[in-house]
Structure 1
């Protein structure tokens, strides 16, 4: 999931890679360097990597918001983290390999400083890793010999408590334990979809074999020699913070595509379960998957096929970007997905037509919710702060929100709800403009760089598009630009913030293109996405790590989840700076609600039960090998998830809806408006807004 803010466009000299001088303005940064720091086409891949590595180290040291000391402490972190990156379950390397590699534990800082030849550790660990991977090919799961699960009733210990194996036989036993656990979990997940149990068992063994054969082949026969180098560099960037990242050229293209929000696909977001299965995280309203009515969040993706007559291919072994590439394609073409229904356990074949996914169906939209007393509540939904920087006439969320607010104003609404749940952020320019639609003038957010220099982004036009009562819905997936908006509205007392603590991302990443532009229009060595600034609220606190705490707390599935910024290994700390001068809202008085969690009698204790389920689903329990244990765990999780979804959906009662805008008559729009009116958060927020008038 991308949750970065591309606040400023960075341009680099295409004749050179790194810096001698830095020229900073409000719109661009130009980094110039001598050509000797730029990898030449004649260099070997190893030489190119070494040159690039030295240059990246220099850029990090000079421009990262909190550059690390290049010392033995950093070296030890790089060393241990890369070992775990390559071998998280300690099922490839042997203890003897670790003993040999330990000589590099405190020398990697010397490579970064240029005192030793770069990538010596990287080259040697890659060689050992390659040799150990070849040894694994004789295991039954790889050699296509008969393999059956065993080790039932044994506990799988967390990876961080495992020791390195001393022998090949000990390593083989570890593989059998890991595979057995995965086998039984998959059997429990899929058993309702297969009446023939022997066929199911064959299917699972085949799926595991495909998954790990694909994994082994991708390691032994890499398509892109820079991919493993990128993994190594990103171990270093992740030590800096969770969002800095080296992006090879192909990923740079996807990043640009993410910001513009234009591609041909089916409208689903994918993620992985704890066992590595690919599941649907969200379904974009109005896109092909949504219109099929056969794909829902939580469903597992089993296989895919290209075209109506295409041969089914299992997804086991594919990484999410690989599967996304398979699902996306030419507009109007067909892709088929085989998915396991998360509610029934049944497996469905779904034929989908690839469509241009754009802001018409995934952008800002609004509607009216009318109460029995005749009050009109405006509902404004914004899934992200999109901005198609690549096209002068491309979609911009600020323009679209302004359009929707004018439609709502024409309806003479009595209050407004802005829904930013699951909004991961986007364009800083747009969020500042949108804040100005609700605040007549004043500062919106403070931005500080590593030198301590402060910029205050303001709205100075002296006008607003909406002055009435207002609430903002947020949850644990509301991040970055969403948090800037929620924080500004809270600090001005312009709106009541409703929901759960937000994600907690208060840093700014800038995209630094690396190398000359190639024939595809891409920088030849990709880009470095680097954290260079930090956000602060106008009251001087920061959304970094802490997020935005709501005024009115309501539980959801993100309330206790462990994926937020504060849970990350390398989270940058929260701190404070001086507040700036600003005037509290004088348009519409908003009474800040009690932040204590309450049992609202109007909803029959639903929120209390939702809170309890959220706690349970976020708790970590021991993993035990065996079908009985897997069935029990799967059944309990599924029952609890289904119960939560039942509690979250409430009857519309006397509430009525009215569509607005050119898409009001479309099916996808009507689905969105119906879901909004039947959502318990929305109804509780309406109840709150009406009591404040």
Structure 2
């Protein structure tokens, strides 16, 4: 099909030439595939066709699915391509398999180039609307979610969609109190920056987008990771990197320090502060200084990271200086930085009961991390989720807590081994999960490494964002009757992935091909069921905060089906079913009187109505009423919270119409601090439920030990490593 591929590329080239012939537009340079990218695609295809759990041949049928997935990933809301573009591209929808197998990626790159061209045109049109402004007395509406809508039939249809989007952007800023001149400045800069960012997209970005369209067309949790993405994945798993200890962001073209990590080289030096802008990076004591103004954030970060004990020099524009301020050079020696924000943490809550106070420990675990490299090297102090939680449990015991709640909300999973070992901390040496590979062979994963660390009352708090390893842990706790599962039904991801290094397979000394995260097995509960599609159903269920049809395993059209296998040889260690009727009654009684919980229910109902209606008004009067109601709700949340917030703080949480990099850094940090202080209604109720469970164990079945709606109070915070106070 080589001649057909050439025809495809020529057809797309014609589309590019036929698209809006506006020589004033700064179109990005056409991207071209690199030789190593084409080879990486072919190597990945060989692995996927042979070793994937759901191995499917790379043929015309799969090519059509890849084509659809690629367009969906580039333009999910159907705001850039026209129907005529899709018709032109669809001539070769079944030939992307040939592009991979013949190592000729011109076709998918031509699609990406057309997408970039259309995006530049839309940004230019958006800027052209700003001079005239808008009439906000008209009763117009904007569709929120367009992914199920048809592609715009004509250029005029597309521009009408964008007129309404720009009008909404303007209205949000207007409602936040900005005048017309300020709004024009903000939006003109926003759309111009968006167009400029398109010019910074590299061939590696385009290749990764196409490859992930290919992998996810097979199955939702198979992904391609380019060399840089693979490095970031490793950092997320081991929770450490070698660098200077600064969280960076891009503001107005400058790489800006957003946060300094305590104990890191940047903080210890005393020469850098939040808001400083990095304008140059040099390697070693005398290497050339690279000007990084206008660079992509990830490109600059790659320069700043390096090897242990190596030197990096930074040219810095002080936070309080203008563009012409004197630049200072800061010399730092790189060191290992721990990503503490993603590690396990704990807090001790005091619950007021009718008979005094009860202490409940809450461990928050963002992911199931594990430093595999350190473990393989024999490092006795290697970092892992189970080891950190074990330390925290010792600390909580020392605080004499009576119950422990594992908060796994939005924990998307991680290491399967860590899920097994973490479960062992609460269940001992027992079977935890079963896995079935592509051949149908079933293995029972049993905890053999960790001993029982907590035998007292246990709860697990989950939501729709709790997936994979989180579901393994919650399911085991539930199947063994070990504790209460509280919250929303979980994500429903019942598959196991392994990461294959394409460079290792190709025996490359330098990483150029990237990694393939590939589904190789399916896991099953010890009772024989699976969390696939259905997730874990809580014992005490909270209202769904999102649309389960749009988020979760069941939202994927090509997810593996639910099925069942034979149960493992296991025996329950408890039975919480006898407690449930009383716990549910106390829970329902309490939340009926909890103003914040009822407010949350109202918010959920409004969100559901908004999703159902799928439109927002572009009339200023209507939107002002909606904003006033929102600010009233925020005031109630903050006013009732024991957070030390001051009156009017709700304005920090109200919609300001700005994007993340358009706010002044000090205001953005202050708003984050305010958000962190907002009462966590669902966590507080879970703590109360667990306190009730303790009361029932003590034989107090006639009244709720925490029947009042008084919030639990934090009395101590603990770190996941070293057991020191925050």
TM-score (norm 2): 0.66
Answer yes or no: is 1:688 the counterpart of 2:693: yes
1:307 corresponds to: 276
Quick check: 2:411–2:467 contact (8 Å CA) kept in 1? yes
Quick check: 1:150–1:176 contact (8 Å CA) kept in 2? no
Q: How many Å separate the matches in 1 of 2:599 and 2:295?
A: 37
Quick check: 2:349–2:362 contact (8 Å CA) kept in 1? no
Deviations 1:135-154 (A, max 9, x none): 667x4545798463469533
1:19 corresponds to: none
Of the three residues 127, 133, 157, the one matched with 1:148 is 133
2:459 corresponds to: 471
Q: How many Å separate the matches in 2 of 1:575 and 1:287?
A: 48
Answer yes or no: is 1:459 the counterpart of 2:447: yes
Answer yes or no: is 1:107 the counterpart of 2:95: yes
Deviation at 1:176, TM superposition (A): 2.5
1:615 corresponds to: 605
Quick check: 1:367–1:379 contact (8 Å CA) kept in 2? yes
Answer yes or no: is 1:363 the counterpart of 2:350: no
Deviations 1:222-253 (A, max 9, x none): 3x212111111111222223322111111111
Deviation at 1:261, TM superposition (A): 1.8
Deviation at 1:580, TM superposition (A): 0.7
2:368 corresponds to: 385
Q: How many Å separate the matches in 1 of 2:160 and 2:399?
A: 68
2:647 corresponds to: none
Deviation at 1:123, TM superposition (A): 4.2
Q: How many Å separate the matches in 2 of 1:153 and 1:67?
A: 52
Unaligned runs of 5+ in 2: 1-31, 251-257, 264-272, 280-293, 307-311, 321-334, 645-672, 699-726
Deviation at 1:488, TM superposition (A): 0.7
Of the three residues 218, 231, 234, the one matched with 2:212 is 234
Quick check: 1:64–1:450 contact (8 Å CA) kept in 2? yes
Deviations 1:6-63 (A, max 9, x none): xxxxxxxxxxxxxxxxxxxxxxxxxxxxxxxxxxxxxx94543333222222211122
Of the three residues 214, 232, 237, the one matched with 1:259 is 237
Q: How many Å separate the matches in 2 of 1:396 and 1:467?
A: 21
Q: How many Å separate the matches in 2 of 1:214 and 1:91?
A: 18
Deviation at 1:579, TM superposition (A): 0.9
Q: How many Å separate the matches in 1 of 2:150 and 2:440?
A: 44
Q: How many Å separate the matches in 2 of 1:423 and 1:269?
A: 24
Of the three residues 535, 552, 563, the one matched with 1:575 is 563
Unaligned runs of 5+ in 1: 1-43, 271-282, 289-303, 311-316, 338-353, 652-667
Deviations 1:150-172 (A, max 9, x none): 69533334424544445544544
1:625 corresponds to: 618
Distance 1:180 1:145, change over 3 A: closer
Distance 1:581 1:518, change over 3 A: closer
Distance 1:256 1:83, change over 3 A: same
Deviations 1:290-333 (A, max 9, x none): xxxxxxxxxxxxxx9841899xxxxxx99997999999999999
Worse-superposed segment, 237-246 or 82-91: 82-91
Worse-superposed segment, 633-642 or 173-182: 633-642
2:539 corresponds to: 551
Deviations 1:357-386 (A, max 9, x none): 534984243536465536754404132322
Quick check: 1:149–1:179 contact (8 Å CA) kept in 2? no
Q: How many Å separate the matches in 2 of 1:635 and 1:672?
A: 22
Q: How many Å separate the matches in 2 of 1:178 and 1:52?
A: 39
Of the three residues 489, 502, 527, the one matched with 2:515 is 527
Distance 1:536 1:627, change over 3 A: same
Answer yes or no: is 1:250 the counterpart of 2:228: yes
Quick check: 1:366–1:404 contact (8 Å CA) kept in 2? no
Q: How many Å separate the matches in 1 of 2:570 and 2:533?
A: 24
1:125 corresponds to: 111
Quick check: 1:496–1:590 contact (8 Å CA) kept in 2? no
Distance 1:396 1:105, change over 3 A: closer
1:225 corresponds to: 203
Q: How many Å separate the matches in 2 of 1:141 and 1:323?
A: 30
Please state whether the residue corresponding to 1:445 is helix, strand or coil.
strand
Worse-superposed segment, 634-643 or 613-622: 634-643
Deviations 1:619-672 (A, max 9, x none): 413134344454445454555566567788799xxxxxxxxxxxxxxxx9xx99
Distance 1:402 1:335, change over 3 A: farther
2:486 corresponds to: 498
Distance 1:525 1:363, change over 3 A: same
Q: How many Å separate the matches in 1 of 2:635 and 2:304?
A: 28
Quick check: 1:377–1:417 contact (8 Å CA) kept in 2? no
Please state whether the residue corresponding to 1:416 is helix, strand or coil.
strand
Quick check: 1:183–1:208 contact (8 Å CA) kept in 2? no
Q: How many Å separate the matches in 2 of 1:325 and 1:207?
A: 27
Q: How many Å separate the matches in 2 of 1:335 and 1:564?
A: 44
Distance 1:623 1:368, change over 3 A: closer
Deviations 1:336-355 (A, max 9, x none): 79xxxxxxxxxxxxxxxx99
1:68 corresponds to: 56
Quick check: 1:491–1:538 contact (8 Å CA) kept in 2? yes
Deviation at 1:494, TM superposition (A): 0.8
Answer yes or no: is 1:54 the counterpart of 2:37: no
Q: How many Å separate the matches in 2 of 1:371 and 1:583?
A: 36
Quick check: 1:495–1:590 contact (8 Å CA) kept in 2? no
Deviation at 1:547, TM superposition (A): 1.7
Deviation at 1:334, TM superposition (A): 10
Please state whether the residue corresponding to 2:460 is helix, strand or coil.
strand
Please state whether the residue corresponding to 1:679 is helix, strand or coil.
helix
Of the three residues 473, 486, 490, the one matched with 1:485 is 473
Q: How many Å separate the matches in 2 of 1:505 and 1:198?
A: 47
2:195 corresponds to: 213
Q: How many Å separate the matches in 2 of 1:566 and 1:131?
A: 34
Quick check: 1:307–1:336 contact (8 Å CA) kept in 2? yes
Please state whether the residue corresponding to 1:471 is helix, strand or coil.
strand
Relative to total residues, which structure has the larger helix share, 1 or 2?
2
Deviation at 1:489, TM superposition (A): 0.9
Q: How many Å separate the matches in 1 of 2:80 and 2:300?
A: 26
Worse-superposed segment, 679-688 or 408-417: 408-417
Please state whether the residue corresponding to 1:106 is helix, strand or coil.
helix
Deviations 1:201-228 (A, max 9, x none): 233323433343234434xxx3x21211
Of the three residues 563, 571, 594, the one matched with 2:551 is 563
Q: How many Å separate the matches in 2 of 1:268 and 1:561?
A: 35
Deviations 1:366-410 (A, max 9, x none): 536465536754404132322222333332222222223233344
Deviations 1:517-573 (A, max 9, x none): 999986212211112222211011112222211112234745869433323454333
Q: How many Å separate the matches in 2 of 1:633 and 1:419?
A: 33
